[in-house]
Amino acid sequence: MEKKIFVTQPSLPPLEEFEVSLKQIWESKILTNNGPYHKLFEQELAEYLGVKYLSLFSNGTLALMTALQTLRITGEVITTPYSFVATTHALWWNNIKPVFADIEPDYFNLDPDKIEAAITPRTTAILPVHVYGNPCKLEKIKQIADTYGLSLIYDAAHAFGVKINGESILNYGDLSVISFHATKVFNTIEGGAIVCHDAKTKQRIDYLKNFGFAGETTVIAPGINAKMNELQAAYGLLQLKYVRQNIEKRREIAMYYRSNLKGINGISYLDDIEGVDHVYPYFPIFVDEEKFGMSRDAVYENLKAGNIFGRRYFYPLISQFPSYRGLVSAKKENLPIAEKVADKVICLPIYPDLELDDVDRVIRIIREVQPEVHQPEAALQTVYGEFPIY
Ligand SMILES: *Cc1c(COP(=O)(O)O)cnc(C)c1O
């Protein structure tokens, strides 16, 4: 049996380099609470990303929860069902009611044309996600937020390093939240950050992530403990040296997948967007059961049988989990596009150390499992660049 390939594998900095940092930490005995590595990493990371104000967190979920506290979001928030569950869980933990709106059919982000119908007197914010790192319709969403006086918080967990016409995507919205979980493009083992646009907001975020302490005896709010520790920060600082080359390797793999999946009848994938610097966190394909001649789940199982462990991100939709499926906005009729996409998607393995021979294995299985009657047309058809998929 050939070796097991998983959807992702984290990149780590060289152990010798981390040992040097660990020695320093052992000597200083400063382990957390905005230590020297934390300060340096926060600064260098903000520079790398091209943002002005950034606050480090112990993980992305706590950063999301704190972002909502920062802007005092209450009542209802309009969000997407096509994401990782943490997006909606962060609302639940703040006692906020999620209101799901459908996604757009090209890049599967929250559809701006579906937002207005979901607004009620209790709506206070919009929480979209740049799914797979592809930018939301930023201008349209901002216009709606401005018109209705709503806050705008982006879950940018997939969008580390993404730029639009040279500008960081994290500079859009009132706040953007990133994740540095082991499975993400850039990892600090666990970790995350909030990006904001002024010193006063950063100050509030920094108080909130440290129990609300604004001084030895002053507590300004019921904050939480969501601080990044010195080991994570030292590790992250090293990771920054390698992130460019890691993204370049991801790009090569994505290009290789695209050129080799091109022309398979019933398989489509997402293309690059002009003016966007992509980082290739995932490589989702979409299986059209009728055209491909086999269901998505059957393709997924066949890959598994060949020791290729893709993931069906994002299936089931968040709106289908027991915590949320009772909501009126979670009804399938309200989310037809999200429902369709969730039934077609498989994320194929992509990570910097993935070898092209292994990518070939993935592609070979997909080609070989396609029923023959569906294959002849394949040579004639191309799905390349032909989105939407419906
Ligand atoms: C990973 C992820 C999160 C959560 O981040 P953690 O750092 O794992 O807590 C939130 N939202 C999305 C869309 C994610 O992919």
Same domain, yes or no, for 347 and 267?
yes
Do both 304 and 368 map to the same domain?
yes
Judgement on whether residues 228 and 279 belong to the same structural domain of the protein: no
What does the pLDDT read at residue 389? Answer: 46
CB distance 133 to ligand 1 below 6 Å:
no
Say whether both 222 and 277 belong to one domain.
no
Distance from C-alpha of 153 to C-alpha of 71, rounded to nearest angstrom: 9
Q: What is the pLDDT, as a whole number, of residue 375? A: 82
Going from the Cα of 293 to the center of ligand 1, the distance in angstroms, rounded, reads: 34
* Same-domain pairing of 191 and 157: yes
Supply the pLDDT for residue 378: 47
Q: Which domain holds residue 314?
A: 243-388
Domain boundary among 215, 239, 263: 239
Question: Where does a domain end: 211, 239, 267?
Answer: 239
- Is any ligand 1 atom within 6 A of the Cβ of residue 81? no
pLDDT score for 377:
55
pLDDT at 376: 52
Same domain, yes or no: 77 and 220:
yes
Check if the beta carbon of residue 319 is closer than 8 Å to that of residue 81. yes
| Tally of domains within the chain | 2
Looking at the fold, whether 206 and 260 belong to one and the same domain comes out as no
Give the predicted TM-score (pTM) of the model.
Answer: 0.95
- Are 293 and 369 found together in one domain? yes
Q: Ligand 1 mean position to 29 CA, how many Å?
A: 30
Q: Which atom of ligand 1 is nearest to the CA of 191?
A: 7
Are residue 151 and residue 268 in the same domain, yes or no? Answer: no
Ligand 1 pocket check for 84: Cβ under 6 Å: yes
Q: Is the CB of 8 under 6 A from ligand 1?
A: no
Domain co-membership, 80 together with 211: yes
Is 253 found in the same domain as 192?
A: no
Tell me, in angstroms, the distance from the centre of ligand 1 to residue 48's CA.
Answer: 21
C-alpha 157 – ligand 1 centre gap (Å): 5
Q: What pLDDT is stored for residue 385 in this prediction?
A: 46
Mean pLDDT by 10 residues, the chain (390 residues): 94 98 98 98 98 98 98 98 98 98 98 98 98 98 98 98 98 98 98 98 98 97 98 98 98 98 96 98 98 97 98 98 98 98 98 98 97 70 47
Domain boundary among 222, 239, 256: 239
Which CATH number covers residue 287? Answer: 3.90.1150.10
| pLDDT for the residue numbered 1 | 75
* Residue to mutate, 7, 130, 181, ligand 1, most ligand atoms under 8 Å from C-beta: 181
- Maximum Cα interatomic distance, the chain, rounded to a whole number of Å: 74
How far apart are the CA of 63 and the centre of ligand 1, in A?
Answer: 9
Ligand 1 contact via 83 beta carbon (within 6 Å): yes
Residue 228 belongs to a domain with what CATH number? 3.40.640.10
Residues 72 and 118 in one domain: yes
Using a 6 Å cutoff on CB, does residue 110 contact ligand 1? no
Query: How many angstroms is it from 341 CA to the middle of ligand 1?
Result: 20
The answer to whether the beta carbons of residues 224 and 65 sit under 8 Å apart is yes
